[in-house]
């Protein structure tokens, strides 16, 4: 893992590089901050950079024996600790190392949901148990094998049980001179205060939409326009953007239903609108609500399109094609009311009102508003 593999957060990466180059890494560093930014990947890049014997232009070289071991997950002075589900023969992180490698390889941006899937533990709550602290104490007390520093990367210290944390305290207070802890947290407020007060902190910032889009382009081969369209509603969180790619089929369907709603509303075809309402109702509640969110986004995007602020627009190609003709109908006379109607329909559907009636009523209001 190189620093350049991690999107954005240049300042945090530069800070980490400086700490390592100047040999001033704190004994315990906590990386935290915005979700879906690749905090765990950054911790791994830091560990590889610490161990690389031929650092080049602020990056690990990628070819020295230490780098190769990092790439193959068998570096003798690097340890991982993470939440697990206890079962027979599986009591510490090391017992799950196969699952862990597969998790890291398949998920450049870590997610707890994906880890649950990897553990096949959807209904359990993985935890860092007290056995883990004993294991860590043992490993960290050995002399390092081939490097100046042993590095322990702990993912989600907020999932640590109190007895585990208590055993680690001494190690954090009086660390061995050759040991470094890098903790990676999604929720630092949930870390036990005794641990939290003993770490230095490094915060990652939320990514920008173009940064998320750049990631989608390089990982999924999307073109720039589609990548930006998927990235925009994700609000800087790569994990949400990735979900939106998987939902691509659903988005296509929503696009069809949105365009037909607007065409039918324009031509005041009430009979077809009634059928439209029945079909959207058949989506079932949560999907119908996702459709309404999609419709709200399209209304906003078309208003922006209409006032010619193209650089603020995030539409994929079919959406944009539709907008060239449709956008003039969304203007300052109706944009706010349309959004209000969508929100109202969403609240009614959420509150278990009769969806068919709510959606037909909503479609009629759009018929009135579209001619304003």
Residues within the interface to Zn ion (CB under 5 A): 52, 54, 60-61, 64, 67
- Asked if residues 169 and 194 have their Cβ atoms less than 8 Å apart, the reply is yes
Q: Which residue lies nearer to Zn ion by CB, 54 or 350?
A: 54
CA distance 63 to 73: 14
147 vs 209, beta carbon nearer Zn ion: 147
Gap between the terminal Cα atoms of the chain:
55
Do 335 and 313 contact (CB within 8 A), yes or no?
Answer: no
Residue (45 or 262) nearer to Zn ion, CB: 45
CB 214 within 8 A of CB 241: no
* Interacting residues of 35 by C-beta distance below 8 A, sequence separation 6+: 186, 237, 239
Write down the least CB distance from residue 64 to Zn ion, Å. 3
Q: How far is the CB of 60 from Zn ion (least distance, A)?
A: 5
Q: Are 356 and 277 in contact (CB under 8 A)?
A: yes
Q: CA separation (Å) from 325 to 1, 305, 320?
A: 46, 10, 9
Nearer Cβ to Zn ion (147/179): 147
- What's the closest the beta carbon of residue 57 comes to Zn ion, in angstroms? 12
| Angstrom distances, CA of residue 112 to CA of 26, 30, 168 | 27, 18, 23
Residue 135 CB, shortest distance to Zn ion, in Å, is 28
Asked if 180 contacts 149 with a C-beta cutoff of 8 angstroms, the reply is: yes
Interhelix angle for 238-246 vs 209-220, to 10°?
50
DSSP secondary structure letter of residue 96: G
| In the block, residue with structure tokens 């630092």 | 188
Q: Is the Cβ of residue 141 or residue 146 nearer to Zn ion in the bound state? A: 146
d(CA 288, CA 258): 12
Q: How far is the CB of 53 from Zn ion (least distance, A)?
A: 6
Residue number with CB closer to Zn ion (61 or 76): 61
Phi, psi of 22 (to 5 degrees): -90, 5
In terms of CB distance, is 64 or 116 closer to Zn ion?
64
């Amino acid at each position: 893992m190189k620093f350049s593999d991690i999107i954005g957060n240049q300042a945090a990466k530069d800070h980490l590089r400086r700490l390592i180059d100047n040999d001033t890494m704190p004994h315990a560093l906590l990386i935290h901050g915005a979700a879906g930014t690749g905090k765990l990947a950054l911790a791994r890049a830091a560990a590889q950079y610490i161990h690389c014997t031929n650092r080049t232009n602020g990056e690990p070289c990628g070819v020295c024996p230490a780098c190769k071991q990092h790439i193959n997950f068998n570096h003798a002075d690097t340890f991982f600790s993470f939440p697990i589900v206890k079962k027979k023969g599986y009591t510490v992180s090391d017992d799950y190392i196969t699952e862990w490698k597969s998790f890291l390889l398949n998920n450049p941006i870590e997610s707890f949901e994906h880890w649950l899937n990897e553990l096949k533990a959807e209904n359990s709550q993985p935890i860092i148990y007290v056995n883990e602290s004993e294991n860590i104490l043992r490993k960290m007390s050995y002399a390092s094998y081939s490097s100046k520093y042993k590095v322990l990367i702990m993912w989600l210290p907020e999932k640590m049980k109190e007895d585990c944390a208590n055993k680690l305290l001494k190690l954090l207070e009086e660390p061995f001179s050759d040991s470094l802890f890098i903790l990676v947290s999604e929720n630092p407020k949930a870390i036990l205060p005794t641990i939290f007060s003993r770490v230095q902190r490094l915060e990652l910032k939320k990514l920008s939409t173009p940064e998320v889009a750049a990631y989608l382009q390089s990982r999924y081969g999307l073109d720039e326009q589609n990548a930006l369209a998927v990235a925009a509603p994700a609000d800087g969180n790569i994990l949400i953007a990735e979900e939106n790619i998987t939902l691509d089929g659903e988005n296509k369907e929503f696009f069809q239903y949105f365009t037909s709603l607007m065409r039918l509303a324009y031509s005041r075809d009430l009979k077809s609108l009634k059928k439209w309402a029945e079909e959207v109702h058949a989506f079932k509640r949560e999907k119908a609500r996702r459709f309404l969110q999609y419709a709200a986004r399209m209304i906003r995007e078309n208003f922006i399109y209409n006032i010619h602020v193209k650089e603020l627009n995030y539409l994929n190609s079919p959406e944009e094609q539709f907008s060239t003709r449709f956008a003039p109908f969304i203007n300052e006379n109706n944009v706010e009311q349309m959004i209000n109607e969508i929100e109202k329909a969403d609240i009614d559907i959420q509150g278990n009102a009769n969806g068919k009636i709510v959606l037909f009523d909503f479609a009629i209001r759009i018929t009135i508003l579209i001619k304003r």
